[in-house]
């Protein structure tokens, strides 16, 4: 792989008031707990709470030695002051900023400058072009994709060549944009949310990961618990949990109980077993979770558990699992 990252990181969306408000005290306690638990990779975005998550991460990271952590954020939406918050779903009680889609080279530069100011740091390690996909923009996504390939992608490539950033890629919820980006540009890493997990992994495994492996492009798995489904959450991709997902989760839980395995630990270990996956980044706004996540990461999962999942058709026979 052309780039390396810590194997586990902290995703920033929940600290942008995703689904429900989070007090500043709780946000600070969560980030302090993450640092104390050993997290040294943090991913955030201007989109999360219209700048709120970046501000909150900045309160922690601006006080830490810059060489001791890895930081990624995203471009694609510029923030402009507004009279009132947009509260764009799934976020609530946001900062009073308006999102302006901009995937141009100039937009990428401006977005990075604004993020650095909110985060209180002097550099970023990785920059993802955010939500360049149909689930976010509908049919218009292809126009934005073209703009990004001609604009933001070239700007980020130049920043990487200059040494200003270590790498760049897309941060998306769908596989197709990543495949197209590999055809049209030279990314280093993709942040793929919810598409490689115990619940869902077929498309990425078949259509994206082989090319990534050939090209030395890494994957950061966002949402390794599938929007929290595998950790007892009540949402799936910002909506209600579909019956098919509930059924598969129940079957996974039954096998996990049989082998005395915590399904959350299994979810992390599964993602990280694939050789193209560099890191998994669960998110939280609960100060108790970071240590729990690190415990899941450090736990061992017996080999016969993975064999049972394959025997019961819950995992494909050819999918990589921990040795």
Active site residues: 48
Strand order in the sheet with 41-43: 10-11, 41-43, 70-75, 126-130, 167-172, 189-193, 218-222, 277-281
Nearest to 297 by CA among 315, 273, 316: 273
Q: Give the number of other Cβ atoms within 10 Å of residue 313's Cβ.
A: 9
Please tell me whether residue 182 adopts helix, strand or coil conformation.
Answer: helix
CB half-sphere exposure, 313, CA atoms < 13 A: 1
Q: Give the number of other Cβ atoms within 10 Å of residue 269's Cβ.
A: 22
As a residue count, the chain comes to 323
Nearest to 201 by CA among 80, 52, 319, 73: 319
- Is-contact 117 62, C-beta < 8 A? no
Nearest to 14 by CA among 320, 311, 231: 231
Distance of CA 225 to the CA centre of its chain: 11
Q: Give the number of other Cβ atoms within 10 Å of residue 147's Cβ.
A: 19
- Is-contact 109 54, C-beta < 8 A? no
Please tell me whether residue 278 adopts helix, strand or coil conformation.
Answer: strand
* DSSP label of 126: E
Q: Between the CA of residue 278 and those of 102, 289, 299, 307, what are the distances in Å?
A: 28, 21, 18, 24
Q: Between the CA of residue 64 and those of 6, 32, 74, 281, what are the distances in Å?
A: 17, 11, 21, 20
String of b and e for 272-293 (b: at least 16 CB within 10 Å)?
bebebbbbbbbbbbebebbebb
């Amino acid at each position: 792989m052309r780039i390396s990252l810590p194997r586990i990181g902290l995703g920033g969306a929940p600290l942008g008031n995703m689904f429900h408000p989070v007090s500043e005290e709780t946000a600070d306690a969560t980030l302090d707990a993450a640092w104390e638990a050993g997290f040294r990779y943090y991913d955030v975005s201007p989109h999360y709470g219209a700048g709120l998550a970046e501000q909150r991460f900045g309160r922690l990271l601006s006080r830490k030695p810059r060489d001791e952590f890895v930081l990624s954020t995203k471009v694609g939406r510029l923030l402009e002051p507004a009279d009132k918050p947009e509260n764009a779903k799934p976020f609530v009680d946001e900062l009073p900023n308006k999102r302006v889609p901009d995937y141009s080279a100039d937009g990428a530069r401006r977005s990075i400058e604004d993020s650095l100011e909110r985060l209180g740091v002097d550099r970023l390690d990785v920059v993802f072009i955010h939500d360049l996909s149909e689930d976010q923009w509908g049919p218009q996504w292809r126009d934005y994709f073209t703009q990004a390939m001609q604009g933001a992608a070239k700007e980020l490539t130049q920043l990487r060549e200059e040494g200003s950033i270590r790498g760049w890629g897309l941060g998306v919820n769908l596989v197709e944009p990543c495949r197209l980006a590999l055809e049209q540009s030279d990314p280093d890493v993709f942040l793929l949310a919810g598409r490689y997990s115990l619940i869902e992994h077929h498309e990425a495994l078949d259509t994206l990961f082989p090319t990534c492996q050939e090209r030395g492009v890494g994957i950061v798995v966002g949402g390794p618990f599938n929007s929290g489904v595998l950790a007892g959450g009540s949402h799936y991709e910002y909506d209600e949990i579909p019956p098919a997902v509930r059924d598969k989760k129940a079957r996974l839980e039954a096998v996990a109980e049989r082998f005395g395995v915590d399904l959350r630990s299994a979810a992390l270990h599964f993602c990280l077993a694939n050789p193209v996956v560099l890191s998994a980044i669960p998110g939280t706004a609960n100060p108790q979770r970071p240590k729990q996540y690190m415990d899941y990461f450090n736990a061992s999962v017996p080999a016969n558990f993975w064999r049972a999942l394959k025997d019961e058709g819950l995992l494909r026979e050819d999918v990589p699992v921990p040795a």
